[in-house]
Every structure is written in structure tokens, then in C-alpha cells.
């Protein structure tokens, strides 16, 4: 009896400590995003055949993050595409976003490196092609696609391109099947809760922020929230106003995360590095500062060109990785458009002024 007890104790001591060490070490970074700086020659074309998709982080034993190669994709040179996540186990795979259409097979292959379970559910955090590009591919694998109503509207009736031409419509299989709406009265509450693979996963619709159709995805047991692109730490902030986004909405989104997350919650942005909620504060302060400064200049009758020339982001360049001139100009132009005559959201879109 005594020997059995000792053996049991020995086994108990050996096993849980290994489990404990593992539990403490999440999130595990497998491949960190690159830091740059990056340069691409004029006329550069993305060599999709060279881009790899791999597990970049593990945030729990059955919740992995996927991302792409660095230094090949000018839109996201630090790591091609937007992050995708896969929750896996006996109930099948729940996917958050898809990566680009051109690398769909590679994304599936990366998923197949850790699970053979069927692809069951796909939720889109927002419409951008590095997040929804392989929707049709994964729908054909068996995924039922979830999103906000406004994302579906943006997809079915896309806004005009900057050059004034109509954008092409989507492949039918790419269009979300299950939709829900954001309501200010229930802000922060999940529209959908899924119980799969021992995890409780919430799809929480967001106010118009990065786009009008944003959703964040909370994994309650892992204490992880996928916060998509209203926050970024590579390049200056981007609110896609033509698709209904808004800089002020991004402030509201950050304030909602402040309420939903605790100090230890792992926040997974679409791009850049994983963060905790305190990391959002400096970013928030910069948005407030730029809104005030640009509003003052626009109030004095300054043109967009004058405001861009004023180089208002100078003090943030040192702490903003990927601070290219394009990234700064895009951000300040958005702020300029937002502080005066900002068009309302209709059907998930805004009719933005065109600048030469
Ligand atoms: Zn995006």
C-alpha cells in the first residue's frame, strides 16, 4: 500500500510540473514577425510562390496562430497576410480569418501540420483580403462562415475603388452565411458563443472602427482575444473609412478592450506582435493627440497638403516600427477627413472625398 502511494506521488510530482511549466509559458512565440526596415523596388510584384504560412504563436495547447513570411509582401512586410487562428480538437476546427487567397493551400497545409479534424467554422474579423481572401476555399472545405452583417454588405456591394471604378463582386462561396449586427446598447456582449474543443469562444461585434463590420473573438478559457486591426504596432494606424471605419471608433474599440480584458489577457492583433491591454494606451494617446492637432489646423483653414507637410507624427516615429511615409500620410489623411464633413456609414460603407 505504502509503495503504491509513493509511486502515485512520484508520478503526480513528475507530470503536473511539466504541465505547469507549459501552462506558464503561453503564449509561445514560434516565429516572431520581422522588424525591418524593408524596401521594395518600384513595380515590385508579390512572389506568392515564395510566401510560406506557418504557426507563428501557440496561445494554448489547442489554439494556434498562423502567419506568413517576412520581407516579401509590401502591404505587410513584417509578416505576410493578417494573422489567422485555429482552435482545434475532436469537435473540428474553428478558424478566425483565412490569410490571402493566393496562399490558401499553404494555409490549409499549415493547419494540417497539427490537426486532421474537419474545418467546421470560420469567423471573419473584417473584410480585408488578407483576412477573408481564402473564404471560398475554406467554405469548400466545409466551413460555415460567420460575420457582422456590415461585412457581408461590404463584400456583396463593395465601395468604389479610389480611381472611381467598381470593384468586382465576390465568389458566392466566400460570402458569410451566419450574420449578426453591432448594437451600442449591447456593446461588448457576444453575438455568438460556441462551445467547441473544451473552449468557450465568443464572437463580439464591434462599433465601426477598423471597418464597419469588425468582430473580435474571445477565447474565455485560454484568456485570449483576437483584436484584429484597429490596433497595430507595425506602421501607423489604419481606419478603412470607405468600408465604414473610423479613427474615433478605434478609440471606442480600445476602450472596450480595456473593459473586456484583464491584465494577463493575451491580445492578438492582425499584424505586429502579441500584446497586453496596457500596450494599447500609448497608441490611444497618439490617436487623441493627432485628432486634436489635425482638427486645430483644419479649423484654421489649412489644406490636407499643409497638414501633411507639418509632419505631425514626428515625435512618434522612433517608437513606431514600419513608419514609412505612406503609412504616415495615410493615417494623417484619415484624421483630416474625420475631423470635418465626415460621411456617415450606409450599408457598411462611407462615400469618402477623393484627394488628388
Ligand atoms: Zn485590416
Cis peptide before 104 (omega within 30 of 0): no
Distance from residue 210's CA to the centre of ligand 1 (Å): 7
Q: Helices (H), strands (E): how many in the chain?
A: 9, 13
Distance from residue 238's CA to the centre of ligand 1 (Å): 8
Burial of 156 (0-12, 13-18, 19+ CB in 10 A): middle
Distance from residue 77's CA to the centre of ligand 1 (Å): 14
Distance from residue 302's CA to the centre of ligand 1 (Å): 30
Give yes or no for a contact between 33 and 78, defined as CB atoms under 8 angstroms apart. yes
Distance from residue 30's CA to the centre of ligand 1 (Å): 23
Choose among 112, 81, 113, 115: nearest CA to 98.
81
Residues of the chain with pLDDT under 50: 1-2, 4-14, 16-18, 20-23
Distance from residue 229's CA to the centre of ligand 1 (Å): 5
Q: What is the pLDDT of residue 24?
A: 56
Question: In the beta sheet, which residues pair with residue 228?
Answer: 269
- The whole-angstrom separation of Cα 24 and Cα 190 is 28
Residue reference for cell 514626428: 314
Say how many C-beta atoms besides its own lie within 10 A of residue 117's C-beta: 19
- The whole-angstrom separation of Cα 158 and Cα 239 is 16
Sheet holding 93-96, edge to edge: 28-29, 53-60, 63-68, 84-87, 93-96, 119-123, 144-148, 178-180
Distance from residue 26's CA to the centre of ligand 1 (Å): 26
Distance from residue 81's CA to the centre of ligand 1 (Å): 9
Give the burial string for 32-41 (b: 16+ CB within 10 Å, else e). Answer: ebbebebeee
Name the pairing type of β-strands 93-96 and 119-123: parallel
Distance from residue 138's CA to the centre of ligand 1 (Å): 19
Query: H or E stretch including 193?
Result: strand 192-196
Distance from residue 228's CA to the centre of ligand 1 (Å): 7
Distance from residue 34's CA to the centre of ligand 1 (Å): 18
Angle at 155 between CA 154 and CA 156, to 5 degrees: 100
| Neighbouring residues of the ion ligand 1, judged by CB less than 5 Å | 128, 229
Name the pairing type of β-strands 266-269 and 224-228: parallel
Choose among 216, 227, 250, 243: nearest CA to 153.
243
User: Which residues are within 8 A (CB) of 49 and not within 5 positions of it... i.e. 6 or more apart?
Assistant: none
Q: Can you say whether the dihedral through the CA atoms of 338, 342, 345, 350 is positive or negative? A: negative
Distance from residue 107's CA to the centre of ligand 1 (Å): 18
Distance from residue 233's CA to the centre of ligand 1 (Å): 13
Q: How far is CA 9 from CA 118, 199, 247, 326, in A?
A: 39, 30, 57, 62
Distance from residue 311's CA to the centre of ligand 1 (Å): 24
Choose among 266, 255, 190, 188: nearest CA to 221.
266
Distance from residue 64's CA to the centre of ligand 1 (Å): 20
Helix (H, G, I), strand (E, B) or coil at 322: coil
Distance from residue 188's CA to the centre of ligand 1 (Å): 20
Q: Using one digit for the tens of pLDDT, what is the confidence trace for 128-155?
A: 999 999 999 999 999 999 999 999 998 9
Q: Using one digit for the tens of pLDDT, what is the confidence trace for 275-294?
A: 999 999 999 999 999 999 99
pTM, to two decimals: 0.91
Amino acid at each position: 500500500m505504502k509503495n503504491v502511494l509513493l509511486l502515485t506521488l512520484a508520478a503526480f510530482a513528475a507530470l503536473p510540473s511539466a504541465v505547469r511549466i507549459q501552462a506558464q509559458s503561453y503564449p509561445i512565440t514560434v516565429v516572431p514577425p520581422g522588424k525591418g526596415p524593408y524596401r521594395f523596388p518600384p513595380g515590385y510584384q508579390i512572389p506568392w510562390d515564395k510566401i510560406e504560412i506557418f504557426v507563428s504563436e501557440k496561445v494554448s495547447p489547442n489554439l494556434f496562430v498562423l502567419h506568413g513570411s517576412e520581407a516579401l509582401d509590401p502591404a505587410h512586410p513584417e509578416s505576410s497576410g493578417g494573422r489567422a487562428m485555429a482552435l482545434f480538437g475532436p469537435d473540428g476546427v474553428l478558424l478566425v480569418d483565412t490569410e490571402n487567397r493566393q496562399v490558401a493551400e499553404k494555409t490549409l497545409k499549415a493547419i494540417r501540420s497539427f490537426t486532421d479534424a474537419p474545418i467546421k467554422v470560420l469567423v471573419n474579423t473584417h473584410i480585408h483580403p488578407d483576412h477573408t481572401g481564402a473564404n471560398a476555399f475554406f467554405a469548400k472545405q466545409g466551413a460555415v462562415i460567420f460575420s457582422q452583417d456590415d461585412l457581408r454588405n461590404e463584400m456583396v456591394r463593395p465601395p468604389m475603388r479610389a480611381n472611381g471604378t467598381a470593384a468586382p463582386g465576390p465568389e458566392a462561396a466566400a460570402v458569410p452565411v451566419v450574420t449578426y449586427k453591432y448594437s451600442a446598447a449591447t456593446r461588448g456582449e457576444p453575438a455568438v458563443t460556441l462551445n467547441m474543443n473544451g473552449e468557450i469562444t465568443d464572437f463580439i461585434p464591434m462599433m465601426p472602427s477598423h471597418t464597419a463590420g469588425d468582430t473580435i473573438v474571445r477565447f474565455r478559457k485560454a484568456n485570449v482575444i483576437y483584436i484584429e486591426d484597429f490596433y497595430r504596432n507595425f506602421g501607423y494606424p489604419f481606419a478603412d473609412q470607405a468600408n465604414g471605419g473610423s479613427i474615433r471608433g478605434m478609440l471606442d474599440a480600445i476602450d472596450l478592450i480595456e473593459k473586456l480584458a484583464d491584465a494577463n489577457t493575451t491580445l492578438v492583433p492582425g499584424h505586429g506582435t502579441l500584446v497586453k491591454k496596457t500596450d494599447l494606451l500609448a497608441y490611444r494617446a497618439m490617436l487623441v493627440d493627432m485628432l486634436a492637432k489635425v482638427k486645430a489646423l483644419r479649423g484654421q483653414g489649412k489644406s490636407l497638403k499643409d497638414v501633411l507637410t507639418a509632419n505631425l507624427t514626428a515625435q512618434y516615429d522612433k517608437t513606431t516600427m514600419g513608419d514609412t511615409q505612406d503609412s504616415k500620410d495615410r493615417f494623417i489623411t484619415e484624421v483630416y477627413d474625420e475631423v470635418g464633413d465626415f460621411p456617415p456609414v450606409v450599408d457598411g460603407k462611407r462615400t469618402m472625398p477623393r484627394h488628388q
